[in-house]
Amino acid sequence: MSECIQISFAVCRIGMYTCFRALCCKGPPPARPEYDLVCIGLTGSGKTSLLSKLCSESPDSVVSTTGFSIKAVPFQNAILNVKELGGADNIRKYWSRYYQGSQGVIFVLDSASSEDDLETARNELHSALQHPQLCTLPFLILANHQDKPAARSVQEVKKYFELEPLARGKRWILQPCSLDDMDTLKDSFSQLIHLLEEKEQDAVRM
């Protein structure tokens, strides 16, 4: 009987030690990879609001970016250090000065904008897709303001922006989004992170 008690006590001690090791001696979780991105788009496209929402910031504190700002946007499997550039006419000509060091691009467009603004956005996107410092990088193109009645569909945007012929052979994603649909927005960024990981793995293999 006493042997059984001793064995049970020994098993119990081993079990407690195992639990203690699991709870108290576990090493820190592996660091999440970080990627440096540039976010561009015309004024009013909603860049600042989308990034602020992803960072769980209060909408009352959102102020349109006039120069540039940097946000660390956390996701479960990565941290995106996003450099957002203002989209006013007098700032867009300086965008390329801030491209260096970028590992990916976020382009936000207002899918409910006027024809003139949509044409300007198309020209800016075409310029970015062909820029020497960006042309090999993954692109996430967000057709924002899908909650507005005048919003163009993703298919309409793809056709108008001529993305299929222009971006053939490049890593790019075109997704609808709005502040009211955070699940779709987060899924879009998850796809971008996957493209960033793929590009990183390709670089390692070379």
**pTM of the predicted structure, to 2 decimals:** 0.84
Q: DSSP string of 65-121?
A: -SSEEEEEEEETTEEEEEEEE--SHHHHTTGGGG-TT-SEEEEEEETTS-HHHHHHH
Per-residue pLDDT of the chain (206 residues; tens, 9 = 90+): 444 434 343 334 444 444 444 545 556 667 889 999 999 999 999 999 999 999 988 777 677 777 889 999 999 999 999 999 999 999 999 999 999 999 999 999 999 999 999 999 999 999 999 999 999 999 999 999 999 999 999 999 999 999 988 777 789 999 999 999 999 999 999 999 999 999 888 777 76
In the chain, alpha helices (H): 2-24, 47-54, 89-92, 115-130, 154-160, 163-166, 182-205
> Which residues, including other chains, have CB under 8 Å from residue 138's CB and lie 6 or more apart?
103, 104, 105, 171, 172, 173, 192, 195, 196, 198, 199
* Residue 188 in tokens: 């879009």
Alpha carbons 104 and 117: distance in angstroms, whole number: 24
CB 139 within 8 A of CB 105: yes
